[in-house]
A and B are shown apart, each in its own frame.
Chain A
Amino acid sequence: MLELRDVTKRVGAITHIKPTSMTLQTGHFNVLLGATGSGKTSLIKLMAGLDPLASGRVILNGEDVTQVRTQGRNISLVHQFFVNYPHMNVFDNIASPLRVAGMSENDVQKRVEETADLLQLRPMLMRRPSELSGGQQQRCALARALAKDSRAVFLDEPLANLDYKLREELREQLPELLAGRGAVVVYATSEPEEALLLGGWTALMEDGHVTQFGPTSEIYHSPESLAAARVFSDPPINTATGIKTGSRISLESGMGWQVANATAELPDGRYTIAVRAYDLSPKRKSDLDVQLTGRVIVTELSGSDSSAHFQMGDNSWVSLASGVHTYRIGQEHMFFMNPSHCLYFGDDGQRVA
Chain B
Amino acid sequence: MKARSLVPIFYILFLMLPIYWLVTMSFKTTNEILSGFSLFPQTFTLDSYIAIFTDPTWYWGYINSILYVSINMVLSVAVALPAAYAFSRYKFLGDKQLFFWLLTNRMAPAAVFALPFFQLYSSVGIFDTHIAVALAHTLFNVPLAVWILEGFMRGVPKELDETAYVDGYSFPRFFTKIFLPNIKAGVGVAAFFCFMFSWVEMLLAKTLTAVEAKPIAAVMTRTASSAGYELGLLAAAGTLTIIPGAIVIWFVRNYIARGFALGRV
Contact = CB atoms under 8 A, between A and B. Distances in A.
Interface of A: 45, 48, 50, 69-71, 74-77, 79, 81, 83-87, 96-97, 100-101, 141, 144, 148
A85 B160 contact: yes
B182 A87 contact: yes
A29 to B, nearest CB: 19
Contact of B181 (A77, A83, A87, A97): A87
B170 A71 contact: yes
A75 B173 contact: no
Interface residues of B, number: 16
B182 to A, nearest CB: 6
A100 B157 contact: no
A83 B168 contact: no
27 contacts: A48-B162, A50-B165, A70-B162, A70-B166, A71-B168, A71-B169, A71-B170, A74-B168, A76-B166, A77-B162, A77-B166, A79-B162, A81-B157, A81-B159, A83-B159, A83-B160, A83-B162, A83-B163, A84-B163, A85-B160, A85-B163, A85-B164, A85-B178, A87-B178, A96-B167, A97-B168, A144-B167
Contacts of A96: 167, 169
Interface of B: 157, 159-160, 162-170, 173, 178, 181-182
Nearest to A72: B168
A77 B158 CA distance: 14
B39 to A, nearest CB: 50
Given A71-B168, A87-B181, A77 B163 contact: yes
In the complex, the 5 A-B pairs of residues with the closest C-beta atoms, listed nearest first: A97-B167, A87-B181, A70-B165, A100-B168, A77-B166
Contacts of A101: 168
Contact of B166 (A75, A81, A85, A87): A75
Contacts of B164: 85
Residue in B162, B167, B173, B182 whose Cβ sees the most chain A Cβ within 10 Å:
B167
Contacts of B166: 48, 50, 70, 75-77, 97
A349 to B, nearest CB: 36
A141 B170 CA distance: 19
Nearest to B165: A70
Contacts of A76: 166
A77 B163 CA distance: 7
A178 to B, nearest CB: 16
Given A70-B165, A70-B166, A71-B168, A100 B173 contact: yes
A45 B166 CA distance: 10
A79 B170 contact: no
B159 to A, nearest CB: 5
B126 to A, nearest CB: 39
A94 to B, nearest CB: 10
A69 B168 CA distance: 10
A97 to B, nearest CB: 4
Nearest to A74: B168
Nearest to A87: B181
B224 to A, nearest CB: 53
A103 to B, nearest CB: 11
A132 B162 CA distance: 22
Contacts of B169: 71, 96, 100
A85 B181 CA distance: 10
Contacts of A75: 166
B157 A83 contact: yes
Contacts of B182: 85-87
Given A77-B162, A85-B160, 16 more contacts: A50-B165, A69-B165, A71-B168, A74-B168, A75-B166, A83-B157, A83-B159, A83-B163, A87-B182, A96-B167, A97-B166, A97-B167, A97-B168, A100-B173, A101-B168, A144-B163
Contacts of A69: 165
Contacts of A81: 157, 159
Nearest to A79: B159
A74 B170 CA distance: 13
B167 to A, nearest CB: 4
A148 B178 CA distance: 19
Contacts of A86: 182
A44 B169 CA distance: 19
A70 B159 CA distance: 13
B92 to A, nearest CB: 12
A45 B161 CA distance: 13
Contacts of B178: 85, 87
A49 to B, nearest CB: 8
A144 B181 CA distance: 19
A269 B162 CA distance: 53
A74 B159 CA distance: 17
A76 B167 CA distance: 7
A320 B160 CA distance: 42
A76 B181 CA distance: 23
A50 B167 contact: no
Nearest to B161: A50
Contacts of A85: 160, 163-164, 178, 182
Given A87-B181, A87-B182, A50 B162 contact: yes
